[in-house]
Structure 1
Amino acid sequence: MTNSLRPHGYQRVPLPPARDENPADRAYRPDEADESPKSSSGTAGRDKPKQRNAFFDNAKYLAIVFVACGHAWEPLTDSSRAAEALYMVVYTFHMPAFIIISGYFSRSFDMRTDRLKRLVTGVLVPYVIFEIVYSFFKQYADDDPTHPISLLDPWYLTWFLVALFVWRLATPLFKIVRWPVPLALGIAVLASISPDIGDDLDLQRVLQFLPFFVVGLVMKPEHFEWVRQRWVKIAAVPVFAVATVFAYWAAPRMSSAWFYHRDSVQELAAPWWSGIVMTLALFGCSLVLTACFFAWVPKRTMWFTALGAGTLYGYLLHGFLAKGSRFWGWFDHDWPHTPLGAIAVTVVAAVVVTVLCTPPVQRMFRFVMEPKMNWAFKRDAAAQARDRAGTPPRKETARAH
């Protein structure tokens, strides 16, 4: 942008692009920004450690807690209308919140070699590993030896990694179109009324959740600041209250499968036109509740802030306990279905996923979640030229968020 107070032709030096990240992939570290101010010598602050953005780490941690609680509540929904109502409310916003943050930190993603490598090692490889391990777990824990091992049919939680891989690859396209959100919403609507898409790569979820990722792509830092205004925080209280009351009314009248976005309307035994109505209605409701959720997320550093860097670990690892509790009949007893039992189940779910996000767990499973795999990739020409010249690699800076 030309500065009118400067001589004609003066232009501000553009800020470097934001780093990539997603809420479930530490291979990209979006909120780790190099805030190294230049001194008169041009070198001061160059070695200053990178700072993470506490708001986004807090949001990711709280969202993963809601994910774990939602999975813990699922077996209770058949016997408790209140549990079903809370389940529907949480499912309206917890994955959209994750996906919006993921899209926000994918704004600078392109087909650059190093970013493609991180996409493979940080998303594709963990998908392959966990899909295989989950399949074996299903065979033995559920006594289901016929359960197939197929990388084309994601089981349980691994669909998110497939979706993240596809969304990231589509990012350059949505960055150049004029109306990215309406385009993504149109794709989601068409997917919801297309039963022939099938289950391959869980494409229904990939396409129906796509608008939230694109919303994140077009968001700017000031949008997150806007939802954290005092009046929004206050308004979020009655909004969540109304949503909970409405969900309590809707619980016996509406299938919670609508919130999974994994089926077409024909598979839900609904008329085709309801796919248009429900996709648009749920998109609007999810955006409102997600904004209310962001309004309540603390901006300052909290005791759980550091756990936001390990949400991928908590997300994928807690699935073994969530599914195992069904396979092993833990919810077949009466006590978990009592009010005190439901509270205890909620607390256990929150504690377990919190532990799974801690640094010791990250160190233990980093070889799976963030493998380096340098052996699998050719070295780029620039790195080879630097080695021959004996010059250190140029440090990439990123704008602080």
Structure 2
Amino acid sequence: MLVRLNEKERKKMNRIAKWDNAKFVLIILVVICHFYENYLGSSKLVNSLFFSVYTFHMPAFFLISGMFSKKTVKERKIVKVVPYLLVYLFMKMFGYFVSGIMNGGTFISVDFFREPGAAWFILALFFMYLITFYTKQFRPAYVLIVSVFVSMAAGYSNMDTNLFCWLRIAVFYPFFYTGYALSMDTITKWTENRKLKIVSVAVILIYFLVCYVGIDKLFWARFLLTGRSYEALTHGAFYGGILRLFTYVLSFGLVFAFLCIIPKGKNIFSQLGTRTLGVYVFHYNFINLFVHSCWYKALYHNFPNTWEIILVLFGIVVTLICCLKPFDACCRAILSSKWKLRLDDELK
């Protein structure tokens, strides 16, 4: 999501616009699910779509981010990842002012150390880069295995999981590291197999169907998909680690299936896929605006048979709005080389 390619990498990847296409589809799913979050429990369709999408959309984002992290990790320069922290701080402050204005001028204090909201992904990327600066010296298989076991064990902790979003970092790091460890050519080769594409379509459709039919029995397990502790299991907490391991297998499989069905050719959405950072940074403010509007409750009551579809359309519209150049330009300014050069000079 925060990936910025240099010229050499862009030329290599630009014949395969697959990754921009994937990011555009994923960011639409992110926005739609964040709309749906406000209606969980109101509809079987909302619950099942939320559950099924959460199984793979953030893991896929982390895997793609890890795939493009190789150059930065190799150079091991903290200055290269500081912009992630700047984006995080910008999201916190911008959200603080927008929420205060929508609450009639009542500004709630902002906590930079705890992140229960959307900005967690940006902060997680910052720490994942730092972790990979040190794990890169070990054999990839060992790092992946250890990271999975660490995340399984971390779920038993009673610590505040929103503090530096540490648990979500532990849970999603295996996806980021997998992207880092595998070569771009390998992933592309695997996901461009024609037979696997057909199988992948079937796998995803079947999974969505299973989630829809069995959501009443599955929905309790959504905490496993959002990087939370096993606290929700109460008496069955002992099995939390095993469930987390099963979730990894399921998520990795669905991420692979998702990437298989994404076309590698350039299309109308490829350019928009390069602007997903702006969407991620600003979309939640549009959702907050929606929640504070009369539409929030009226939608469900006035359109009882179609409100779920209308929310999907809202998600697509907000995504397209946030893909506009002003939003993208703002994010690019935060990530600009000028910041890096200044920081680099100060750190020398």
> Of 258, 268, 272, which residue of structure 2 is paired with 1:307?
272
The answer for the alignment partner of 1:33 in structure 2 is 9
- Cα deviation for residue 108 of structure 1 reads 3.3
The answer for the alignment partner of 2:79 in structure 1 is 117
Deviation digits for residues 203-260 of structure 1 (CA, Å, limit 9, x no counterpart): 1111111111111122222233212211111112221222122212442233264244
The answer for the alignment partner of 2:251 in structure 1 is 286
The answer for the alignment partner of 1:231 in structure 2 is 195
Q: For the aligned residues, what is the CA RMSD?
A: 2.7
**Are 2:284 and 1:319 aligned?**
yes
Q: Which has the higher contact order (CA 8 A, sep 6+)?
A: 2
Opposite residue 153 of structure 1, the aligned amino acid is: R
The answer for the alignment partner of 1:297 in structure 2 is 262
Instruction: Note the residue ranges of structure 1 that are not aligned, 5 or more in a row.
Output: 1-23, 37-49, 382-401
CA distance in 1, matches of 2:99, 2:233: 25
- Cα deviation for residue 185 of structure 1 reads 0.4
Counterparts of 1:215-364 in structure 2, within 5 Å, are 215-220=178-183, 221-253=185-217, 254-255=219-220, 257-267=222-232, 269=234, 271-333=236-298, 334-335=300-301, 338-364=304-330
Residues 199 and 73 of structure 1, relative CA distance in 2, 3 Å threshold = closer
Deviation digits for residues 54-83 of structure 1 (CA, Å, limit 9, x no counterpart): 111111111111111111222333221022
CA distance in 1, matches of 2:163, 2:8: 35
CA distance in 1, matches of 2:262, 2:45: 24
**Are 2:20 and 1:54 aligned?**
no
- Cα deviation for residue 328 of structure 1 reads 3.0
> Of 84, 94, 113, which residue of structure 2 is paired with 1:133?
94
Q: Which has the larger radius of gyration?
A: 1
Q: Answer yes or no: is the 8 Å Cα contact 1:103–1:214 preserved in 2.
A: yes
Counterparts of 1:76-87 in structure 2, within 5 Å, are 76-87=39-50
Give the secondary-structure state (helix, strand or coil) at the position aligned to 2:147.
helix
Residues 275 and 70 of structure 1, relative CA distance in 2, 3 Å threshold = same
Opposite residue 33 of structure 1, the aligned amino acid is: E
| Residue range with higher mean Cα deviation, 144-153 or 319-328 | 144-153
CA distance in 2, matches of 1:270, 1:144: 44
- Cα deviation for residue 307 of structure 1 reads 1.4
Opposite residue 98 of structure 1, the aligned amino acid is: F
> Of 128, 132, 157, which residue of structure 1 is paired with 2:118?
157
Opposite residue 220 of structure 2, the aligned amino acid is: S
Opposite residue 312 of structure 2, the aligned amino acid is: T
**Are 2:145 and 1:169 aligned?**
no
CA distance in 2, matches of 1:52, 1:159: 32
Percentage of identical aligned residues? 23
Q: Answer yes or no: is the 8 Å Cα contact 1:61–1:304 preserved in 2.
A: yes
**How many residues of Structure 1 are paired with residues of Structure 2 in the alignment?**
342
Q: Answer yes or no: is the 8 Å Cα contact 2:201–2:261 preserved in 1.
A: no
Instruction: Note the residue ranges of structure 2 that are not aligned, 5 or more in a row.
Output: none
CA distance in 2, matches of 1:144, 1:300: 48
Give the secondary-structure state (helix, strand or coil) at the position aligned to 1:269.
helix
Q: Answer yes or no: is the 8 Å Cα contact 1:204–1:261 preserved in 2.
A: no
**Are 2:49 and 1:73 aligned?**
no
Q: Answer yes or no: is the 8 Å Cα contact 1:31–1:52 preserved in 2.
A: no
TM-score, structure 2 normalization: 0.88
Q: Answer yes or no: is the 8 Å Cα contact 2:55–2:225 preserved in 1.
A: no
- Cα deviation for residue 376 of structure 1 reads 4.2
**Are 2:168 and 1:205 aligned?**
yes
Q: Which has the higher helix share?
A: 2
> Of 19, 39, 56, which residue of structure 2 is paired with 1:93?
56
TM-score, structure 1 normalization: 0.77
CA distance in 1, matches of 2:111, 2:58: 24
